[in-house]
Amino acid sequence: MMEFRNQCPRCAGHLREWSELSVEEREVVKRLPASAEFSLEERKASRRWCARCWYEESSGTTTLA
């Protein structure tokens, strides 16, 4: 059941927190379109990303890149 929570709903990849991303993946995340209401620091603290399709997930909102 825990694996399902970590699965990307778009491509079935693995959702990872900022600390789990590689340096290169973090650079991609910094360039993704994001809501102007959230700073990068807020996104780092509350979001997860799929490095396969760059789906961005947070509790309550999602962004499809």
Q: How many Cα atoms are found within 13 Å in the side-chain-facing hemisphere of 18?
A: 12
Supply the pLDDT for residue 65.
53
- Dihedral pair phi/psi, residue 13, rounded to 5°: -75, -175
Supply the pLDDT for residue 27.
95
Q: 20 in helix, strand or coil? A: helix
Supply the pLDDT for residue 36.
74
Integer CA distances (angstroms), 4 to 39, 43, 44, 62, in order: 28, 22, 21, 17
Give the integer Cα–Cα distance in Å for 63 and 55.
6
The tens place of each residue's pLDDT in the chain, 65 residues long, gives 445 688 999 999 999 999 999 999 999 999 988 767 889 999 999 999 999 999 999 864 445 55
